[in-house]
Chains A and B, each alone.
Chain A
Amino acid sequence: MTQRISKYQRFKMMNPILQFFKFIYLSIKIMIVVAGGHGGTRKVD
């Protein structure tokens, strides 16, 4: 097992307070990507 994620990074990843704000941020960002619309790719003559 190689420690690729430092203890400080892990603390940030698992801290409920920091992660609460991350949850809000991610929810909004994902909503923008997902609900941001979709469409075709072919040109219409």
Chain B
Amino acid sequence: MSKIVVLGAGISGHVAASHLRRKLSKEHEVVVVSPNSNYQWIPSNIWVGIGRMKSKQVLFPLAPLYKKKGITYKQAKAITFHPEGDAKESKPYVLSEYVFGDKKGTTEKITYDYLINATGPKLNFEATEGLIPGENKVYSVCTYGHAEHAWEGLNAVIQKLKSGEKAKILIGTGHGKATCQGAAFEYILNVEQELRRHDVRDNAEITWISNEYHLGDFGMDGMLMSYHGMTMKSSEMVEMIFEDRGIKWILGAGVNKIEDGIAHYENLDGEFKNETYDFAMLIPAFSGHGFKAYDKNNNDITEKLFKGFMIVDADYSSKPYEEWTVQDWPETYQNPNYKNIFAPGIAFAPPHAISQPRQSKNGTAISPSPPRTGMPSGITAKLVADNIIDSIKSGKESLHHKGSLGNMGAACIASAGYGMTQGSGVSITTYPIVPDYKKYPKTQGRQLGKTFGEIGLAGHWLKLALHYAFIYKAKMRPFWWLIPE
């Protein structure tokens, strides 16, 4: 009998737990440890943030589902890792603290045979002074709670615009090393469409602010894509969309301080500037959770497990941008020091960025961190689960399932406006996620046939269809496993 502990119940953790439970017999225990009692389909938070969906449409409680499926659920947060156990506990364990119910505040040593760290990122708002969701007129859509607040703020601005006042809206990244530009891109297009729907677009000035060097970088170094029979750069496509919708942009901006209605930033020329706004949505930097790890003698071994995020089978040696290769990226998400620990999704430490790193003239790093959200999170979680299942069934370590971001495609269905007849979406697929400049030297590291873009109503339908399909899948309804990650 094996016990598999999954930390986190986001896209990655939930996918891993679901597959483990489906494929392993009941003699094996699957335990999910997560402080959040709800599963949330994060991609739809965009629509919560414009008031077109309620948060209850993007979430459901985990406890009843896990009880029904035979998954043990502990509403607790991980505190410290003990991969060798300690003087009293011979098995490896994670010290966790309950955050709800009768056990709230108490700790438990949760032992495991296999550990999947799917804790995702910490939303590091503290890295930018004054960037606090719901304060200083700045908001976030990173969680459904944040998105609800964002809608309240946006709605107040819409009412102001309706009374004939002018307003400035600022959307983008809130830190020089932020990632997830795609979410901000979706949100700015949705806000723009909502303002048109409310007939107040002419009263609003909308500005995109980002740490990207080019538009359409998305933390992936941009891409060359097929578009209507042409080969187009993602920067050209995003520029076309922004110009068509009257959206201004500020690039190479590392936002470093927020005051009430003022975003301060440094640009790549080393100039310190600011931008005023009446409503802002800025994506924070992501960071690891700051977990500590100890060996059986209680010595600090954090550096064996963490490098900000969790260390996995990547090449972390320091080398210049020109020498980066897809082979640097992990394939199995297994910790090299403790072979029974894995970190899929956003929880693993990337070997380096994907976009070319840049610094301002003052030495401030201003370039996107690598995105690892959504689909890759699900795929990497499933392959980790499959390797653990194979290892348990064969009785020896099995790592046959591999999935490097350098050999994996991704689909980004970016909503560009909500509505069954008036909605729009920008559908982009990329293969591979991490550009392979040796394999595809003439097309900026990507395979053109599998890297394409489309704009139109079908994109909105597609994103809406994915919303319902993935919530169906997450609820583990009949034949849920037939829906790919």
Contact = CB atoms under 8 A, between A and B. Distances in A.
Q: Which of A15, A20, A39 has the most chain B CB atoms inside 10 A of its CB?
A: A39
A16 B485 CA distance: 28
A40 B458 contact: no
Interface string A11-43: 011111001101100110111111110111110
Nearest to B202: A1
Contact of A1 (B244, B404, B436, B454): B244
A43 B427 CA distance: 33
Contacts of B331: 39-42
Contacts of B114: none
Nearest to A12: B456
Nearest to A21: B458
B418 interface: no
A29 B402 contact: no
A1 B243 CA distance: 6
A31 B465 CA distance: 13
Contacts of B244: 1-5
11 contacts: A1-B244, A1-B245, A2-B246, A22-B454, A22-B456, A26-B458, A32-B450, A36-B450, A38-B379, A38-B383, A40-B402
Interface of A: 1-5, 12-16, 19-20, 22-23, 26-27, 29-36, 38-42
A29 B329 CA distance: 26
B136 to A, nearest CB: 29
Given A1-B244, A39-B331, 11 more contacts: A1-B243, A2-B243, A4-B240, A13-B455, A23-B462, A30-B411, A30-B427, A34-B375, A38-B403, A40-B402, A41-B327
A33 B379 CA distance: 13
A2 B247 CA distance: 10
B410 A34 contact: yes
Contacts of B458: 19-20, 22-23, 26
Contacts of A23: 458, 461-462
Contacts of A30: 411, 413, 427, 429, 462
A39 B243 contact: no
Contact of A40 (B407, B450, B459, B465): B407
Nearest to A35: B484
Q: Which of A3, A12, A14 has the most chain B CB atoms inside 10 A of its CB?
A: A14
B403 A26 contact: no
B421 interface: yes
Secondary structure at chain B's binding surface: helix, strand, loop or mixed? mixed
A2 B241 CA distance: 10
A11 to B, nearest CB: 10
B159 to A, nearest CB: 23
A44 to B, nearest CB: 10
B406 interface: yes
Nearest to A20: B458
A33 B392 CA distance: 31
A19 B484 CA distance: 24
Contacts of A41: 326-327, 329, 331, 404, 406-407, 436
Contacts of A26: 427, 454, 458-459, 462
Nearest to B403: A38
Interface string B446-460: 000010101111110
A19 B244 CA distance: 20
B265 interface: no
B409 A29 contact: no
A29 B327 CA distance: 27
Interface string B399-430: 00011101111110100000001101001010
Given A16-B421, A23-B461, A33-B450, A39 B456 contact: no
Contacts of B327: 41-42
A23 to B, nearest CB: 4
Contacts of B454: 22, 26
